Amino acid sequence: MSRGGCHPLRWAVLAWALPALPARPASAPDRGEVTMMDPVFVEASAGNPWRYIAGPGFEIISRCPEAFNEAYARSLQREAAARLALLPAGFWGQLASPIKIVLYNRPPEPGQGVGASSPIDLAWEPGDGALLDSGSLEFAHPVTVGDGDTFINCGNYWNTQSETGDLSVDPGSALLLENRVPRFPAWFIAGLVGPRGLYVNHVVRSGPLGDSLVLPNAVWVSYAETVAMQDEARRKDGAGAPRRRPALLALDELLRGSASGDERETWNAEAALFVRWGLFASGQRQAFLDFVDATTREPASEALFREHLGMGFDAAARGLEGYLPAAVSEAISVPIDAAQPDVPEVRDAMSSEVARIIGDWGRMEGRDLGPQYAEFRRQCLDQADQQFERAIARRANDPLFLAAYGLYRLQAGEETKAFEALDAATRAGVVRPRAYVELARLRLERALPAVQQGIGDLGEPEFEGILGLLTTARLQMPALVGTYHVLAQTLEHAPRIPAPEDMAALDTALRLFPRDARLAYRVATLYQRLGDPAKASSVIARASAFADSAQARALLASFPAARSLPAR
């Protein structure tokens, strides 16, 4: 299914006998594509039960061979250490709940095979690719779905080589980077985990001296262009065609946000080149990191860049152009400072755990993507319903299960059942921010009159109850932006004019999500309604300075001229 902001994530069985052999991995689907996974999961039998593995930051349920399960869990632990070799801990966000991973191994249906439209792709081309030192024998692309606070990575590993001792998996790095607050600018995220990102095809290599993080060479715009540049870089005598000069975008254009049309591929490639140069070739790694961190608090500018790196954009552009031949020709190896991971505990999964994870996966995969996916959506939701109802029949009352069940019932339009389950889960203190946000939304809708007018619509008890739920959601996961949209709507109907302390959380949200134009527009509208057009204008002006897409800039530009709307 479409990932809706989540990345197709890489899985690789590594073979290092020929580490210098260029290998082109099978292409990951575009963000806009829909990869349809088989939604049918058969209830585990006594002979082949679901197994459960937990570790820092992840939960796994699996029906794969035990050796593969352990190798996968070990790789997750090595990957956590690899992230710290690339970027400091403060650059990686935190999720409220562990990433859920579903591993199963059912052969494809007869005649179906495994290809680009299947959940994992095991194609491999030895030949003249442009990606050096990946050394991967098999690549796969499990699908990740998520709803902001919970993410589930699901893949069919039917052709696994579980005896391998060198398995490299990474279902979490892109999620942790994209959910870090304050949010990073688009160019930095794309430079690391975008289509040409520095970190996209990385692997963790185990050797006699310990593990190392291997970052393959850069890919410039296309594989064909990259191969041509690699060939040119190998010519030592300068013979042959004149040296090509890549058409780099101006740095101020790169840092403004994503490009469109013909410049899109160049923008993605240059973002990755800029990040690679800043971290490994500029000679000013810490200064570059400080610059990136500063851009989460103020818009990127040449003055800010010069303040941190002591050079202007023209000098940096010359550095990028000079570095490009080496970037496309050389892999980067970074030592990992980490002890050998412990063997994780593996046990049989409880039925409520299987129902919670697979039911949640079915709910997220079953969201409405248009009439052409109606049958697939129905199958996913049917599977979720079967899992949840079996657990309910067994009187499952685990708070995490009740939260997942309540969110499923809400998506199915059964608000009474959803309210009951979410209320029970939140009263039990479940760690699932979206449960609190959706219950707050339900309470708000129940409490508002049929004709909503503004300040004074809510009674004090309802108002305080909703604020309490949203406060818990904020404490569990500040990066869940939906919390602040519901908070803004609640304050629009407060029983009294919101005091400055009531608005403080929204002001904090604007700092956490400086590039969220919809949130800025909503908060500005609220300030306007409260009779503070100057504050509204400042919110729009700041958001406009951070806006990194044409759509965001257009929305903010449509904000009405300063005017005060009366509050009832």
**Residue spans per domain, the chain:** 1-37+44-181+338-349, 351-431
Please state, in angstroms and rounded to a whole number, the distance separating the CA atoms of residues 504 and 486.
Answer: 15
- DSSP 8-state class, residue 90: G
CB atoms within 10 A of CB 136: 25
Question: What's the helix, strand, coil split of the chain in %, to 5?
Answer: 45, 10, 40
Tokens for 92, please give them. 């990686």
Please state, in angstroms and rounded to a whole number, the distance separating the CA atoms of residues 404 and 42.
Answer: 20
Beta bridge partners of 143: 154
Half-sphere exposure of 154 (CA within 13 A, CB side): 25
Residue pair 367/377 in contact by the 8 Å Cβ criterion: yes
Please state, in angstroms and rounded to a whole number, the distance separating the CA atoms of residues 544 and 553.
Answer: 6
Please state, in angstroms and rounded to a whole number, the distance separating the CA atoms of residues 187 and 258.
Answer: 7
pLDDT tens digits in sequence order for the chain, 568 residues long: 333 333 333 333 332 222 222 333 333 333 344 455 554 444 444 456 899 999 889 999 998 888 888 888 988 988 999 999 999 999 999 898 999 999 988 776 554 443 333 333 323 333 344 655 444 334 455 788 999 899 999 888 776 654 556 678 889 999 999 999 999 999 999 999 999 999 998 988 887 778 899 999 999 988 888 888 888 887 754 555 556 677 899 999 999 887 777 789 999 999 999 999 999 999 999 999 999 999 999 999 999 999 999 999 999 999 999 999 999 999 999 999 866 667 788 999 998 999 999 999 989 988 776 777 788 788 888 888 888 988 888 887 899 999 999 999 999 899 999 999 999 999 999 999 999 999 999 999 999 987 788 888 999 999 999 999 999 999 998 889 999 999 999 999 999 999 888 899 999 999 999 999 999 999 999 999 999 999 999 999 999 999 988 899 999 999 997 544 444 4
Spell out the residues 6+ positions from residue 275 whose beta carbon is closer than 8 angstroms to its own: 188, 191, 192, 197, 198
Helices 433-447, 415-427: axis angle to 10 degrees equals: 130
Peptide bond into 216 cis (omega under 30): no
Residue pair 450/421 in contact by the 8 Å Cβ criterion: no
CB atoms within 10 A of CB 518: 15
- 3-class DSSP string for 262-305: HHHHHHHHHHHHHHHHHHHHCCCHHHHHHHHHHCCCCCCCHHHH
Q: How far apart are the first and last CA of the chain?
A: 46
CB atoms within 10 A of CB 543: 26
Strand order through the sheet with 136-140: 136-140, 11-14, 167-169
Peptide bond into 107 cis (omega under 30): no
Closest CA to 437 of 399, 403, 397, 392: 403
